[in-house]
Amino acid sequence: MSAESSAVNQVVMGAPFWTATLLFVVAYALIVSEKIHKTVVAIFGASVMIVLGIVSQEEAFHSKELGIDWNVIFLLVSMMVIINIMKPTGAFEFIAVKSAKFAKGKPFRIMATLSVVTAVMSAFLDNVTTVLLIAPVTLLICQALELDVIPFLLTEALASNIGGTATLIGDPPNIMIASKAKLDFVSFLVNLAPVIVLILIVYILTIRLVFGKKLLVRDELRRRVMEMDERATLKDPVLLKKSLLVLAITITGFMFHGMLDLEPATVALFGAGLLLLLSGIKDPHHILAEAEWATLFFFMGLFIIIGGVVNVGLVKWMSMQVLNLTQGNLLGTSMVVMWFSAFASAFIDNIPYVATMNPLIIDMARQLWPDLSGLELLHHPDLMPMWWSLALGACLGGNGTAIGASANVIVVGLAEKAGKPISFGRFMLYGMPLMVESVIIATGYVLLRYYVLKI
């Protein structure tokens, strides 16, 4: 039984339905509880789905609708490889120190500059990677300025989640949405980047109100920062040039992938392959080993688990409930999707959340427009705001709590290592209002752009 062949408004709630639902709920609960590592839960849950025959191995490995989304996997792994090759060139230390000097060593200006740099980098790189590249330099700079590093780390994590929302490759939810909804890089840029720029500006103004006045530094300490030589870390200028070239080719490729009829994963894989070749690395073992395999396998397992509950009709049933609730009012649905996604993502991992929501939205579309299929269905003008609402809600929502996004978890971990733990409550005190602020802006944007101006 596949979701497509089942009767339009009928879900058969037999034994497979309840087995898959139980598996899904237990897996979700275990992931949220963090009692067992989420990757272990995902791999085991996926294997049980296949063993019980809820999805066949063929479907799990090869079906576009029910199986592993290789687009997501290859895009992620390729970007990880590119960054791993680039890391030793010192480019990231250069950018961070250069930013601090650009800010003339003045604390709030450093905070604002590093937040903007983090946001822009996060738009093109994984958020966790970006934070791990900017945070160590931030810790050093705060040591030099004898400042409390916590506000700096906090604002960077939040900025990285905001910036990541702007592009197709910025945040995993967007990668997943793009793949399922067949949306290209330019659509994401055109639809999301404008509101993200606005959100970022308001964000910087807000953190200025919150932290701006408290930050003062003696001139002799500022000199420590101004005397740092950012060029000193550029140890391998040849590899740096090659990396920048490949990065430029890859990003250009993303811009035109729709036109070239290439999937984003193809573009990224080409970039990774090219840089591996150009870098002249003799043994790629350690570069490949450093990819975050736990994350990648989490995705793979998750896709299979979601495939199972799609196959038995649970997701379809859920989508029917959403439609009943909003009575087919699409504006209402899109607002519910955005705000529900924001609060859901603040407390649970937005990756499993979006993995569940994608098929749910597609099912909803099927019920609304039963005669349409393919791109006509996925890109129905009335459905488009739903995708953007999902992306905005799920990505921005991560800022709500310390566990809302992986970048937050990393920053909390670093703060603890620095001997200045950030409590769950303290993170929320800053994160939640800033998250709500950003989602309010996003709501206004979606209403205005898609329902009033209709552009």
Partner 1 sequence: MKARDLMVPLADHLKPDNTIKEAVNLLRSAKRGEERVGVKGLPVLDAQGKLLGILSMGDILKAVYPFYMPMMNLGEFAWDGMVESLAKQAGDRLVETAMTKEVITVVESDSLMKCVDHMIKNKVQRLPVIDDSERVTGMVYERDVFFAIVRAMLQEGKGKEE
Q: Which residue lies nearer to partner 1 by CB, 137 or 189?
A: 137
Among 19, 32, 40, 136, binds partner 1 (CB under 8 A): 136
Please choose, from the candidates 126, 265, 251, 116, the residue with its C-alpha nearest in 3D space to the C-alpha of residue 186. Answer: 251
| CA dist list (Å): 117 to 95, 97, 127, 151 | 8, 11, 12, 16
**How far is the C-alpha of 244 from the C-alpha of 412, rounded, in Å?**
31
String of contacts with partner 1 for each residue 80-119, x by CB under 8 A: --------x-x-xx---x----------------------
In the window 394-453, what residues touch partner 1 (CB under 8 A)? 414, 417-418
**Shorter beta-carbon distance to partner 1: residue 137 or 337:** 137
The answer for 37, left when phi > 0, alpha when psi is -120 to 50, beta otherwise, is: beta
Site for partner 1 contains 229 (CB under 8 A) = yes
Among 160, 233, 345, 401, binds partner 1 (CB under 8 A): 233
Are the CB atoms for 215 and 115 separated by under 8 Å?
no
According to the binding rule CB under 8 A, does residue 309 interact with partner 1? no
Residue 431 beta carbon to partner 1: minimum distance, rounded to whole angstroms:
22
Q: How far is the CB of 136 from partner 1 (least distance, A)?
A: 4
Is position 232 an interface residue for partner 1 (rule: CB under 8 A)? Answer: yes
Q: Is 252 in the site for partner 1 (CB under 8 A)?
A: no
Which amino acid is residue 388, in one-letter code? W
Range 153-176 burial, b when 16+ CB lie within 10 A, else e = bbbbbbbbbbbbbbbbbbbbbbbb
Owner of token pair 């397992």 = 301
Which SS3 state, helix, strand or coil, does residue 184 take? coil
- Residue 235 interacting with partner 1 (CB under 8 A): yes
Write down the least CB distance from residue 236 to partner 1, Å. Answer: 11
What is the closest distance, in whole angstroms, from the C-beta atom of residue 200 to partner 1 in the complex?
25
> Exactly one of 68, 81, 82, 228 binds partner 1 (CB under 8 A); which one?
228
CB of 227 to partner 1, least distance (A): 7
DSSP 8-state secondary structure symbol assigned to residue 450 = I
CA angle in degrees (0–180, nearest 5) for 15-18-23: 125
Asked if 321 interacts with partner 1 (CB under 8 A), we say no
Rounded least distance, CB 266 to partner 1, Å: 31
46: closest CA among 65, 68, 76, 13?
Answer: 68
Task: Report the largest interatomic distance among the alpha carbons of the chain, rounded to a whole angstrom.
Answer: 74
CA dihedral of residues 134, 139, 145, 148 (deg, nearest 10): 120
Closer residue to partner 1 in complex, CB, 38/101: 101
C-beta of 362: minimal distance to partner 1 in Å?
Answer: 41
Coarse DSSP helix, strand, coil percentages of the chain, rounded to the nearest 5 percent = 75, 0, 25
Q: Is 144 in the site for partner 1 (CB under 8 A)?
A: yes
Residues near partner 1, by CB under 8 A? 88, 90, 92-93, 97, 132-133, 135-137, 139-140, 143-144, 224, 227-229, 232-233, 235, 414, 417-418
